[in-house]
Structure 1
Amino acid sequence: MAETGDGSPTAVPQNHCDGSPTEVLLDRDASPFEDKLTGNKGSLDKEPETQTGEKPYMCGECGYRTARKSDLSKHMRTHTGEKPYKCDQCDYSAVQKCNLESHLAKHTGEKPYMCGECEYRTADKRNLSRHMKNHADDKPYMCGECGHRSAQKSDLSKHMRTHTGEKPYKCDQCDYSAAQKSTLDQHLTKHTDEKPYMCGECGYRTAWKPHLCRHMKTHTGEKPYKCDQCGYSTTQKCNLDSHIAKHTGEKPYMCGKCGHRTADKGNLYRHMSTHTGKKPYKCDQCDYSAARKYTLDNHLATHTGEKPYMCGECGHRTANRANLYQHMRTHTGENPYKCNQCDYSATKKCHLDEHLAIHTGEKPYMCGECGYRTARKSALSKHMRTHTGEKPYKCDQCDYSAL
């Protein structure tokens, strides 16, 4: 029992038998100060944490402890799966009210929290707090492996997984696992096909907010990432990083199977699928399957005729985002792919690769049936049809088809 009369926090007995949260017991002869505490439950819940560091409320499932009973109640929902906060505009539900409020902003588009340093706005107060640390010079958390520094301890924890390979977030519908929850959330949309983010200009929809932000730049023409060695600019930092590698020749990403090297991490992931042969993304209208979801999405457009990507200059529409980027170069005159042996430049890398074969005489693409070789992958694809008999180009007025 606590001593009465001095207003000190009461002792917190632990219930070691059943693991249930202990309750704060007060002496029957409690002082008026203690009576005031009992009248303010929120203050009492916080008291052990702020003054003694004690965490009397414990989860009987996993041992998680907290100083606040309300926090324990929220935590318990991670075990029960209870999501009491429901969206009145869709099927979304959440464990916490703050998560529902952030979700509702997707329907309204409202972003009330604004950074005073730059034009960044967000619907989530926590996102603003995290963003503000980008402006602060102080980055006290450092990785002992590579020297990476972070303003937030949680960011350092995420970074450390790049060294340990830990992927604690598991998909409950397939074998996929991720190092970050946000990455798992993005993956889950592949199973649900939900695309809550929509472009107000052309109706393009996506499951990922960053993709919508990137897409919007195709309408504004904004290219904030500039190369300091030539006139190249781009809408995405990752594109600039890949471009800069053309100047330096650096290819830091290597395949452990065959030694293939690339300047782009995304290209390495794509390359790795050539070794596994796995094509998990299946078309539900024909026998086509693909190693990557966006390749399947492009294929599906051949069935639906949908062309969600539109050029803001001339209205040209395409089913493929990469094709839109290539098309935009017809307006800008940009030829980013340069030959290092002559003045030739191209809008597409594949065209540069074909051109380089003129200098080297190399013909890397070979037919496994007859030994035919060519400098162009597209030429090999066409050639292969002479063996398979495939004639994909159909006349819509008669039975004629062509290679």
Structure 2
Amino acid sequence: MSTLNQHLATHTGDKPYMCGECGYRTAKKSELSRHMRTHTGEKPYKCDQCDYSATRKYHLDQHLANHTGDKPFKCDQCDYSTARKHSLHRHLARHTGDKPYMCGDCGYRTARKYDLSTHMRTHTGEKPYKCDQCDYSAADKSTLNRHLAMHTGDKPYMCGECGYRTTQKSTLSRHMRTHTGEKPYKCDQCDYSAAHKSNLNQHLQFTHAQW
């Protein structure tokens, strides 16, 4: 397909290139080639300073910034800076509150197109990320990575206070509240607060429920 025809497809919505594994469709052959790497695991872009490899060149470019410390993308509203352009866009959305991407099925809104694509899989049931050690599959890569840690036993997130280790960053964040005493979940009917959302839900159920 010529470059002009690919451009015209953005107007017509035509997506002639389809993945035989999961049904993903796109207007560009190059996009299909990149998509196929989510199934094959191919990572042709290699870092020359460590063993990192990536499916896309811009992912490698972003990784290389970790070695150089370069953070060229700067917020014009605060002193935040980052090595990744998309990280800056995500950060800026915190200032503006803008969430331009909306789900047509349930009204979910987000600041990132990628998050909307991931969300849509809750409706379609698509799970393109496959475990190579069992038949588990996931809708997004981070969920697959958490699952893989069950096979490897890897627990990269460690508490500096007590040595507690976990496979998930979010679990470590929750654990840290046992040290800091932070209780971010507030009851809107009394002065109760909790370190975990599940505790707040239990409080609401047993203390304020309408019987």
- Interval containing the TM-score (normalised by the shorter chain): 0.7 to 0.9
Q: What residue is the counterpart of 2:206 in the other structure?
A: 365
Residues 1:239 and 1:179: Cα distance change in structure 2 (over 3 Å): same
The whole-number CA distance in structure 2 between the counterparts of 1:185 and 1:261 is 34
The whole-number CA distance in structure 2 between the counterparts of 1:262 and 1:181 is 33
Residues 1:123 and 1:232: Cα distance change in structure 2 (over 3 Å): same
The answer to whether residue 21 in structure 2 is matched with residue 95 in structure 1 is no
Correspondence for 2:45 among 113, 125, 129? 113
Q: Secondary structure at the match of 1:200?
A: coil
**C-alpha deviations, 1:147-185, integer Å up to 9, x for none?**
221123442122110121111112122211111111101
The Cα of 1:145 is off from its aligned counterpart by 4.0
Q: What residue is the counterpart of 1:379 in the other structure?
A: none
The whole-number CA distance in structure 1 between the counterparts of 2:123 and 2:155 is 33
The whole-number CA distance in structure 2 between the counterparts of 1:163 and 1:112 is 37
- Looking at CA atoms only, which structure, 1 or 2, has the larger radius of gyration? 1
Residues 1:254 and 1:121: Cα distance change in structure 2 (over 3 Å): same
RMSD (Å) for aligned C-alpha atoms: 3.2
Correspondence for 2:175 among 243, 246, 250? 243
Which has the higher relative contact order, 1 or 2, with Cα contacts under 8 A spaced 6 or more apart? 2
The Cα of 1:124 is off from its aligned counterpart by 2.2
Correspondence for 2:164 among 232, 238, 242? 232
1:327-342 correspondence to structure 2 within 5 Å: none
The Cα of 1:213 is off from its aligned counterpart by 0.9
1:58-73 correspondence to structure 2 within 5 Å: 70=3
Q: What residue is the counterpart of 1:395 in the other structure?
A: none
Correspondence for 2:9 among 58, 77, 87? 77
In the alignment, structure 1 segments of 5+ residues that lack a partner are 1-68, 275-349, 351-363, 370-403
The Cα of 1:146 is off from its aligned counterpart by 4.2
Q: What residue is the counterpart of 1:195 in the other structure?
A: 127
The Cα of 1:75 is off from its aligned counterpart by 4.7
Residues 1:254 and 1:89: Cα distance change in structure 2 (over 3 Å): closer
Correspondence for 2:65 among 133, 138, 163? 133
**C-alpha deviations, 1:10-54, integer Å up to 9, x for none?**
xxxxxxxxxxxxxxxxxxxxxxxxxxxxxxxxxxxxxxxxxxxxx
Residues 1:90 and 1:125: Cα distance change in structure 2 (over 3 Å): same
Q: Secondary structure at the match of 2:132?
A: coil
Q: What residue is the counterpart of 2:115 in the other structure?
A: 183
The whole-number CA distance in structure 1 between the counterparts of 2:210 and 2:15 is 56
Q: What residue is the counterpart of 1:143 in the other structure?
A: 75
Correspondence for 1:161 among 93, 113, 120? 93
Q: What residue is the counterpart of 1:324 in the other structure?
A: none
Give the aligned length.
207
Using the TM superposition, name which of 142-151 and 190-199 deviates more.
Answer: 142-151
Residues 1:236 and 1:117: Cα distance change in structure 2 (over 3 Å): farther
**C-alpha deviations, 1:177-220, integer Å up to 9, x for none?**
11111110111001111112222323112111111111000111
Residues 1:227 and 1:117: Cα distance change in structure 2 (over 3 Å): farther
The whole-number CA distance in structure 1 between the counterparts of 2:105 and 2:210 is 38
The whole-number CA distance in structure 2 between the counterparts of 1:120 and 1:129 is 11
The answer to whether residue 55 in structure 2 is matched with residue 123 in structure 1 is yes
* Preserved contact between residue 118 and residue 139 of structure 2 (Cα < 8 Å): yes
The whole-number CA distance in structure 2 between the counterparts of 1:185 and 1:158 is 15
Residues 1:142 and 1:257: Cα distance change in structure 2 (over 3 Å): farther
Residues 1:187 and 1:132: Cα distance change in structure 2 (over 3 Å): same
Identical aligned residues as a percent: 43
The whole-number CA distance in structure 2 between the counterparts of 1:254 and 1:148 is 27
The whole-number CA distance in structure 1 between the counterparts of 2:30 and 2:74 is 30
The whole-number CA distance in structure 1 between the counterparts of 2:192 and 2:65 is 38
The whole-number CA distance in structure 2 between the counterparts of 1:257 and 1:143 is 34
The whole-number CA distance in structure 2 between the counterparts of 1:202 and 1:153 is 35
The whole-number CA distance in structure 1 between the counterparts of 2:60 and 2:193 is 38
Q: What residue is the counterpart of 1:26 in the other structure?
A: none
What is the letter of the counterpart of residue 44 of structure 2? P
The whole-number CA distance in structure 2 between the counterparts of 1:261 and 1:75 is 53
Give the structure-2-normalised TM-score.
0.81
Q: Secondary structure at the match of 1:217?
A: helix
